[in-house]
Amino acid sequence: MIHRAFLISLLSAVVATLPATAGDDWPQWLGPHRSGVYDGPPLATQWPEGSPPLLWSHDVGEGWSGPIVADGKVIITHRIGDEDLVEALEATSGKVLWKKAFPADYKDQYGFDNGPRATPTAVGGRVYLFSAAGVLRALELADGKTVWEVDTHEKFGVEQGFFGAAGSPLVEAGKVFLNIGGKKEGAGLVAFDADTGEIAWKATKHEASYASPIAATLNGRRWILFFDREGLVQVDPETGRVFYTYPLRARNRLTVNAASPLLLGEKVFVSSSYHVGAALLDLGEDGPVVVWNNHLSLNNHYTTSVTKDGLIFGLHGRQEARPALRCIQAEDGKVLWSQERFGGASLLLAGDLLLLLREDGDLLLLPASPKGFEVVTQNRILDPTVRAYPALADGILYARDEYKLIAADMRKPAPAPAPSKKPAKNPKTAPSLH
């Protein structure tokens, strides 16, 4: 049973830390709050043709970078040949508004994919991108003009890593935050000036992970939370001072931390696969206090979990071994239900619904409920293989597979207008005899 006090404190803290945002934008990785939560108009669960209507489709090249939506534009980055392309499409029609190309020479040493991994971020009229080769760029959202760029791998002596650079830029308070993993100058974590690209601060000598940072207000102060190669790192956004590091990583070096931290009020959930496990930490004024820690509840591989009403929903186990979809209690990690061999997927929360886009291209809607696994609707909307996270803005789902980006209409249809009541015709009046 979920304790009422735990739930009340969690909900009140969440409300206090969420910034106001428009429901028609999805401007960064995991949405407006970096939580995987959609707060726009309610979604439909059934459609006359059996699946969400396709509004438009656009060809794309290599990459696992997801789309974002800002100011009526869909931004997508992908690779064709020896160029990384960044395109702005009109959200309603898919019309290309502008396109920029940059040289690309990254080569995946495992032969999976040579395109960009990191999802762009749009803030203050600019788009920030991080290439697989570690080049951080700022472009004008209006026309794609390059404002500045920094080759972080060359500048800080970063090794390529297993799958290239993948953390999505976090931008707030005039800074761009990234887990760089630089060997030189203590550049494990770096903050850049958002206007100029100049270095604001550097911290740690930790290697880079594949998890993206999040921001949190804890005990009345703003912090940046990184889940790098060593574990969770809590950093002052102004100075780069490391407040605390909570170690969480596998002993085997041939492993990665890839799921982003999940904020639950003033607590944070971190999870990793490779028999590492998960932990719920209370980030108090004196440093993290472990609420629970185990390797049996919910081991995230690359999918970041979502939370609702004191529950955590996520994928347990390695992607290649068909992970289970699970619901656990946040307060103690107790597993409430588990759908075995569900498979790899991205995961979002829309009201009372879980939205899952599986690697095979199936879109599923499920109740975000502790009662069990129940499919409300399931439709094939893309071709295998799907690794990029989708964007969900104003009821439209923007999602990509290996060859195309689509816009699918998930909105509830507008109610039919009530039939008008026509006034009865006046009966013909008999001619007067007078």
Sign of CA dihedral 378, 384, 386, 387: positive
Distance in angstroms (rounded) separating the CA atoms of residues 372 and 365 = 13
Residue 170, pLDDT above cutoff 70: yes
The mean pLDDT of 133-162, rounded to a whole number, is: 95
Query: What tens digit of pLDDT does each residue of 53-106 get?
Result: 999 999 999 999 999 999 999 999 999 999 999 999 999 999 999 999 999 999
Query: What tens digit of pLDDT does each residue of 235-261 get?
Result: 999 999 999 999 998 877 767 899 999
- Which structural domain range is residue 162 located in? 4-409
Predicted structure pTM score: 0.91
Q: Token pair of 191, please?
A: 């903050």
The mean pLDDT of 96-122, rounded to a whole number, is: 95
The mean pLDDT of 346-361, rounded to a whole number, is: 98
Helix or strand or coil: residue 76?
A: strand
Using only C-alpha atoms, the chain has a radius of gyration, in whole angstroms, of 24
Q: Token pair of 193, please?
A: 């000036």
Confidence of residue 7 (pLDDT cuts 50, 70, 90): very low
CATH of the domain at 343: 2.130.10.10
Q: Which of 167-176, 335-344, 381-390, 419-428 has the lowest mean pLDDT?
A: 419-428
Residue 427, pLDDT above cutoff 70: no
Residue 17, pLDDT above cutoff 80: no
Distance in angstroms (rounded) separating the CA atoms of residues 244 and 225 = 10
Helix or strand or coil: residue 48?
A: coil
Average pLDDT, the chain: 91
Q: Which residue has the higher pLDDT, 164 or 147?
A: 147
Confidence of residue 13 (pLDDT cuts 50, 70, 90): very low
Secondary element (H or E) of residue 15: helix 4-17
Tell me the C-alpha to C-alpha distance, in Å, between residue 216 and each of 237, 268, 271.
Answer: 10, 9, 18
In a domain, 428, yes or no: no
Can you say whether residue 144 is alpha, beta or left, with left for phi > 0 and alpha for psi between -120 and 50 degrees?
Answer: left
In a domain, 177, yes or no: yes
In a domain, 415, yes or no: no
Residues 6+ apart with CB under 8 A from 204: 186, 188, 189, 228, 230, 233, 242, 245
Q: Which of 78-87, 183-192, 233-242, 345-354 has the lowest mean pLDDT?
A: 183-192
Tell me the C-alpha to C-alpha distance, in Å, between residue 318 and each of 321, 341, 379.
Answer: 5, 10, 24
**CA-based nearest residue to 82, from 107, 54, 119, 60:** 107
Confidence of residue 224 (pLDDT cuts 50, 70, 90): very high
**CA-based nearest residue to 269, from 315, 219, 218, 232:** 232
In a domain, 312, yes or no: yes
In a domain, 425, yes or no: no
In a domain, 154, yes or no: yes
The mean pLDDT of 369-395, rounded to a whole number, is: 97
In a domain, 421, yes or no: no
- Percent of all residues in the chain with a pLDDT value above 70, rounded to a whole number: 91
Give the total number of structural domains in the chain.
Answer: 1
Residue 20, pLDDT above cutoff 50: no
> What per-residue confidence (pLDDT) applies to 286?
87
> What per-residue confidence (pLDDT) applies to 431?
38
Tell me the C-alpha to C-alpha distance, in Å, between residue 394 and each of 25, 26, 256, 264.
Answer: 7, 9, 34, 25
Phi then psi dihedrals of residue 156, to 5 deg: -110, 10
- Percent of all residues in the chain with a pLDDT value above 90, rounded to a whole number: 81
Query: What tens digit of pLDDT does each residue of 283-342 get?
Result: 988 889 999 999 999 999 999 999 999 999 999 999 988 999 999 999 999 999 999 999
Confidence of residue 132 (pLDDT cuts 50, 70, 90): very high
In a domain, 422, yes or no: no
Tell me the C-alpha to C-alpha distance, in Å, between residue 201 and each of 67, 159, 190, 198, 232.
Answer: 29, 20, 6, 9, 18
> What per-residue confidence (pLDDT) applies to 425?
55
